[in-house]
Amino acid sequence: MLERRPRKDDTEVTFVLPREDPPGPVSVVGDFNDWQPGVHTLQPRNDGKRAVTVALPADTTQSFRYLAAGDYWFNDESTDHDGANNRIHT
């Protein structure tokens, strides 16, 4: 699930997943971090989920996926897909 918060020059996008599904650490990787795992790792929240917030340029389209332990790549089913990757419009 994605949460968006528009700001003056960008959009804060929060990537949210259940705390333990999938188990272990999960990173969001995409165009905005040169597809580098570990740069944006989801952290536990008080609501029983885990999340990470990334500031993305306004009026852009970004591709991303999640990477979990064991080299398990997966999509966010709440977003658009372009085949293999998720897409987010800011």
pLDDT tens digit string along 50-76? Answer: 999 999 998 889 999 999 999 999 998
pLDDT bucket at 85, cuts 50 / 70 / 90: confident
For the stretch 17-38, pLDDT in tens is 999 899 999 999 999 999 999 9
- pLDDT given for residue 3 in this prediction: 93
- pLDDT given for residue 77 in this prediction: 83
Backbone angles phi, psi at 42, to 5 degrees: -70, 140
65: buried, middle or exposed (CB in 10 Å: 19+, 13-18, 0-12)? middle
Domains of the chain: 2-79 (2.60.40.10)
Alpha-carbon torsion (80, 70, 13, 46), positive or negative: positive
